[in-house]
Each structure stands twice: as structure tokens, then as C-alpha cells.
Amino acid sequence: MTTLSPAPTRPARPTLVPGRGRLSDAVVASLRTGRPPAYEEAAVGRADPWGEDLQLALYLLYELHYRGFAGVDDDREWDPELLRLRRALEHRFLHALRTALHDGPATVEEAFAPLLVEPVDLTGSLSRHLETDGELWQLREYAALRSLYHLKEADPHAWVIPRLTGRAKAAMVAIEYDEFGAGRPDRIHARLFADLMTDLGLDPAYGTYLDRAPAPLLATVNLMSLFGLHRSLRGALVGHFACVEVTSSPGSRRLAHAMRRCGAGPAAERFYAEHVEADAVHEQVVRRDVIGGLLADEPELEPDIAFGCAATLLLEDRLAARLRAAWDRGRTALRQQPPG
């Protein structure tokens, strides 16, 4: 177990964290100094595509397209040397994903049919564990880690909107409108998650727990940014989005029960309760109109949609295995901060 205490209120921009190897060290140094990143190109090819160094380096580079970092000039978002490194890291990550899924689903039916019926055996399900056996400290760790996405919820998927047309675009905008609070800032899902964190005694400031997040968690967030920032991967981003919406409602129901059982607080329960109903509706719209509309316009993207779904499940399974391995031993799943 570990103690997670709220930190003092920080500026809206997160602070840079220490690197975890040569590549992320190079990114951090470049962002701090304004100089080009100093690294050996061969180091990218040697890097573990699932490892702490590569995943943190990618996360830091992607974050320049969101809120950036305190003390880092906004112009670094389009720094050609940083983009060159990011592209090399992306190739390494994407190649690892495609290799791991070489025999994965090739059609939308193959990718999504297994997700439409909840399995009888939920052994290995993280949300099931939290619902039935999870302890409050595990819920707090889970929320701290998930904050790296939920505090920017729906943002990565918004990049696909200008890349869609007609029925697919209209449906995607309708779902995103709900995700962004349907015109009410207090109902924005990222705000609801910040309220959840407050109920759990966590610091709701954006990016607070980056330094505590292990590579499997960073990879789940990086996947969305990878798909979102490349028009060529628009089909994969739609597949990712659809996978999230299809699987969200039953998982959110279990997590709402977990929050209630552990006495986490009304805002903690409300976040997941909100997703039970909303995402059940979104699931129908995304499958019928977002995927259906995209395939009507660009049928050649079907393998990409299937890949996006399969890649999402692969990384979620890797994250669940990491968390359960730690929790089953009574240990924290968070990275330990270095002393001093």
C-alpha cells in the first residue's frame, strides 16, 4: 500500500517529471533547456516499446499537444527535432502493437462481437475485482492512475471529428457533446472525475500522478494520442472509441458498486453511475452511426477499426495484469518516487 495525500494547489499546467532512461531523459532536458533532444538514433531501436523509458518519452511529447508543461514554451509543440524523435518512438510502439496483434481481428464483426455479451467468467476483470474484493486504497490508486486520461476525457477522440464526414461526423459530435457536459461545465466528464478524486482524498490537479504511473498505464493514454494525431490512423481511433463505449457501461456499473461498498463518497460513485446510462446509449450510436457511417464512406478502413479495438483491449489487459499482480501481493501498483 501507499499513501496518497492531496498536494497543494498547482498551476493549470503540470510540471515536468524526471526521466526514466536515456530517451525520456533527453526529452526532459530538451523541454527544460529549449535545446534539441540529445540522443542516439540507435537507442530508439533498442528501447523496449512497452518499457518505462519509451512510454514516458512519448507521453511527454504528446502532452505538448494538450496542456503542455509549466515553463515550456508553447512553440515546442511543433519543434521539428522533437517531432522527429516522436515519430521514431511512434514507429517503435506501433510496430510492437501490430506484431502483438498479427493474428488479431480483421473485421468489425470479429473485433466487437465478443464484447457485446458480458462473459460469465470475469476472472481477471479489474472492475470485477474492485467491485467484490477491492479495498479503498486500491480504488484510490486506480483513480490516481486513470486520472491521466479522465482529466482529459474525450479530448484525444475529438481529433477525429474533422477527419469524418456526414453521418459519422454528426454522431461523433453528438457523443462528444455529452462527454463535454452538454453545454454545462459542471457536467464535463473530466470535471466529474476531478470531483471523484476529491472524494477519494486525491489531488485533482491535471497531471499530478504522472510520476507515479507505470508504463502499462502510460501506454493506454499514449495509444489514444497516437491514433488521434495521425489522420492515417483515423479508423483505429474510431475503433478505440467504440471499444471504450461498448465496454464502459458494465465496467462502470461494477465500479459504481465498488465506490459505494467502500464508502468512497457520492461524487466518486456519481462519476461511474453517470457512465452506466450514458455509455449504454453511446454504444448504440457509435456502432450504428460512427462506425456504420465511416464504413459507408471509407469501407477500406475496416481493418483499421478492428485494429484500434484490439489494441485497446491488449493494453487494458496488460494494465490489469500489472495492477492485479501488485495488489494480490498487498503492494502498491504505483511507481515508487525516488528518495529525496
- Whether 160 and 172 have beta carbons less than 8 Å apart is answered as yes
Using alpha carbons, list the distances in angstroms from residue 251 to 144, 192, 207, 237: 17, 17, 24, 21
| Residue 240 grid coordinates | 478505440
pLDDT, residue 197, reads: 96
- Whether 17 and 210 have beta carbons less than 8 Å apart is answered as yes
pLDDT, residue 4, reads: 65
pLDDT, residue 284, reads: 84
The sign one gets for the Cα dihedral 109, 111, 115, 119 is: positive
Using alpha carbons, list the distances in angstroms from residue 182 to 22, 117, 162, 185, 337: 43, 29, 20, 8, 39
Vertex 164 angle, CA 252 and 287, to 5°? 40
pLDDT, residue 187, reads: 92
Separation of alpha carbons 85 and 58, rounded Å = 9
Q: In a 10 Å sphere around its CB, with 0-12 CB exposed, 13-18 middle and 19+ buried, how is residue 167 labelled?
A: middle
Separation of alpha carbons 312 and 97, rounded Å = 10
Q: Which residues, including other chains, have CB under 8 Å from residue 284's CB and lie 6 or more apart? A: none
Within 104-232, residue ranges assigned H as helices are 108-112, 126-132, 136-150, 155-158, 166-179, 189-199, 215-228
Rounded mean pLDDT for each run of 10 residues along the chain, 340 residues in total = 54 89 98 96 96 98 97 97 98 98 96 80 81 94 97 95 97 94 92 96 96 98 98 98 90 92 92 79 88 98 98 97 95 73
Backbone φ and ψ of 180, nearest 5°:
-95, 25
